[in-house]
Amino acid sequence: MLLPNEPQLFNSESWTKDLSLLFKGLDGARPPPLNKNTSSGQFISSRFLILDHIDQEIYFPTLTFKHLTTGEEIKRVTAFRESVDIPENCERVEETNFENARDRNCYLACIPKNDTKWAEQKWQKKLNSKAPENHNEDKLEFNTDSKFILKMYTDTPLKVLTVYHVRAIFYPAEDESNSGLIHVIESKPIAATGSSLIDEDESTPNELIFEDTMELLTQSLLGDRFAAKFLLCSLVSSIYMRRSELVLGPITVNLNLKETEDYESCVRGLEQVLREIVPSISNLPLTIDYLNKRPLAPTKNYEDEELVHSDISTQPGTLLMLNECGMSSGNLTQVGMKNIETMRLLMEEQKLEFDYQFYKKDFEVEANCIVVSKGKPILPFDYSVLVKSDADLNIEEYYQRLLDTARGSCLYDKIRSYLISCRSSAYEVGDEDMVQNFIVESRRANEKLGIKELHQLLVLARALAIAHGSTSCKKQYLDEAREMIKKLQDRN
């Protein structure tokens, strides 16, 4: 990828409108993956999670140099570069016309956190050419703690805690404050649904793949098909409406394992299965010690001039597996109590509070949450399901056989595409009169049914419809959702 060298390209103010026009051979270019061997000035194609908006930079797109003998003036392009070679026998001409100066937004970013192995491999295949084989490949890769500074040339702002596909020019860091400097040519937000990971013709939702997915999830929950249906509804759910503090779409399920003797192996086995079918997952061990340790809300450290993030600063669409099974008796400190409130805000309003010490600011997030517990959890939930199994199992061996069997049948690929297709599905209410009649009928049957419960019922029916491949509300799924809730009350 050749950097633009012609100073005249930067004479007008319109050059930032379409940066791709400045680069030849950009269309279809697929460079090797970004790693510690990536050379200075190399074109890259990678994903970045935006962590913070940092100070702007003022720069001149071109600089002028004067020959010491002839007095000839020579212009050099500085855009998309970290340094400029001074022509021989020349000195820089100090700029007096600051109308030529520009500013660029800068962002602190990292490699997206919590990618599952299969998703990481698929992203690399989509964005990059095949990397040359290297026995030290793991040592060359940047990890999620590596920080990068993205430098923008357009006025389009980037959103914090959003993942972007970035095509850019890379320069290694000059100090230990970051891992590299990224001069951005193009940046496109990546949907939280994971739709970019699959092709249009891959596994549209249908009854056959619904049953395959239900069977895998049923076995993952030790044969409990009822609990598996709630889990599936949670996995296919996504935000479809934000209105002030009301967020509609996500379904948080509590899987209560109080009747499961070897609950630790069950949690590990369930996580292993989920890692095979979702693109991004984070298992958080919510113990008293963990909650009291440090703030989960991103907090500004003014000594280091850094916004310190935590385990819940994840990429959009991440499945948060909130594990309360290790919760014991004990006292929550002020930090622990605040962390519970931070989690409640994330789960109920899909927002994450950033603490800038002198003020606080909420940022929108998008995460699916599953709460795993040995009894009533301290975190909020939409539905709590007591997981039941009549089988006498060696749970560790059981999950290993399950994982091996599913892997051998090529089932994972189908289910991955199915879940992403469900979360990406267009959906509309359709027959509004039918829905209104259902609401009236439901409230007549149960006078205690309030607005919140009706919202939950409609969201559950939406998830059931999507899981079955329907793009609109149908009476059968409203009835099924109502029946599931009634059965849940009877079971618990």
Task: Please name the residues in contact with 298: beta carbons below 8 A apart, sequence gap of 6 or more.
Answer: 307, 308, 309, 310, 313, 352, 354, 355
Predicted pLDDT of residue 88? 93
Q: Indicate the burial class of 324 (C-beta count within 10 angstroms; 0-12, 13-18, 19 or more).
A: buried
Distances (CA, A) of 194 to 190, 260, 419, 449, 466: 8, 33, 9, 35, 16
Residue 345 phi/psi, 5-degree rounding, is: -60, -45
Region 243-261: mean pLDDT is 90
Q: How far apart are CA 363 and CA 150, in angstroms?
A: 20
pLDDT greater than 60 at residue 492: yes
Total Cβ atoms within 10 A of residue 191 = 17
Predicted pLDDT of residue 334? 96
Structure tokens at 124: 């690399």
Q: How far apart are CA 199 and CA 202, in angstroms?
A: 5
pLDDT band at 58 (very low <50, low <70, confident <90, very high): very high
* 54-58, 116-120, 488-492: least confidently modelled range: 488-492
Region 453-477: mean pLDDT is 90
Kindly state the percentage of the chain with pLDDT values over 70: 96
Region 236-258: mean pLDDT is 91
Region 118-145: mean pLDDT is 76
Sign of the Cα torsion 443, 449, 455, 458 reads negative
Kindly state the percentage of the chain with pLDDT values over 90: 63
Structure tokens at 183: 């001069």
pLDDT band at 46 (very low <50, low <70, confident <90, very high): very high
Q: How far apart are CA 93 and CA 75, in angstroms?
A: 10
Greatest alpha-carbon pair distance for the chain in Å reads 95
Predicted pLDDT of residue 138? 59
The residues that bridge with 423 in the sheet, in sequence order, are none
Predicted pLDDT of residue 426? 84
Sign of the Cα torsion 349, 353, 358, 359 reads negative
pLDDT digits (tens, 9 = 90+) for 288-346: 999 999 999 999 998 888 899 999 999 999 999 999 998 888 899 999 999 999 999 99
Q: Indicate the burial class of 304 (C-beta count within 10 angstroms; 0-12, 13-18, 19 or more).
A: exposed
Q: How far apart are CA 388 and CA 215, in angstroms?
A: 16
- Looking at every residue in the chain, the average pLDDT score rounds to 90
pLDDT digits (tens, 9 = 90+) for 397-443: 999 999 988 887 788 999 999 999 999 988 887 778 888 888 888 88
Region 195-216: mean pLDDT is 82
Rg value, the chain, Cα: 26
Predicted pLDDT of residue 204? 67
Task: Please name the residues in contact with 303: beta carbons below 8 A apart, sequence gap of 6 or more.
Answer: none
pLDDT greater than 80 at residue 132: no
Helix segments in 276-333, DSSP class H: 288-293
Predicted pLDDT of residue 137? 57
